[in-house]
Amino acid sequence: MAFGGYTDALAARYREINVLDYAALIGIPIFFVLGTLTVKRAPMEIDYYTSTDRIAMFVGRVTMLLVALLVGVMMWEVVLRYVFERPTLWANELSLWMAGFVFILSGFYAMQQRSHIRIFLLYDMLPRNLQRTCDCISTFLIIVFAFFLVYGGYGEAKAKFLRWETFGTIFDPPIPSTLKPLVLLVVCLVAVQSLLNLINDWNKEPEVHTAADDIDEEEIERLKKSVGEK
């Protein structure tokens, strides 16, 4: 608000900055940097990654945590509503808000993991140089899509954020003012990650994809150990 562009209602509502605001302003960047530097590869993730991939991997961890919190909020609401007959006024909107963050952020993580849906029927039949050409075309299309999405949605996202548009319910969370700008931010990160994937995979040997690729051998071994098989 110090730079202008806000409404009188927003200025009146958030005029004073308290200790929690300062703590969040300092703590969130520190948490993000430390998380990015210390994140480790999980067994089900791809076995090669670069230092730049750590950002997407850490965002993936945060997204997984949000899924767990989302389930907890929904279970809490079910218990209060159907056992104690005292439903909350915030659980539904909070669930929608968290689910929006999960849906948007998971796309960035999925791009880093190369786990978006791809059709390999023709791709696997091509020589490596033509595969690289297909990868370049795919990356170019992703970047073009991101450019036009930001170009067309920036004005609306900025307006929603500056007036801190809320959901219009009793709980009234700022879902539109947070998720709309986040969409534009994440689609830019996805475009950058797609370019990094192209660079990192440029010298990779050709892969032949089969139905066996969907089988997680490490997960099967863990399940066997859990039931006592050898």
Maximum average pLDDT range among 26-30, 71-75, 86-90, 117-121: 71-75
Asked whether the predicted pLDDT for residue 7 surpasses 80, the reply is no
DSSP character string of 69-119: HHHHHHHHHHHHHHTSS---SSHHHHHHHHHHHHHHHHHHHHHHTT-S---
> Mean pLDDT of all residues in the chain?
85
First to last CA, the chain: 63
The reported pTM is 0.81
CA distance 48 to 54: 11
Residue spans of the domains in the chain: they are: 39-226
Per-residue pLDDT at 1: 45
Asked whether the predicted pLDDT for residue 93 surpasses 70, the reply is yes
- 1 vs 226, more confident: 226
Asked whether the predicted pLDDT for residue 75 surpasses 60, the reply is yes
Residue appearing with tokens 């099967």: 220
- 224 vs 133, more confident: 133
Nearest residue to 179 via CA among 92, 99, 63, 69: 99
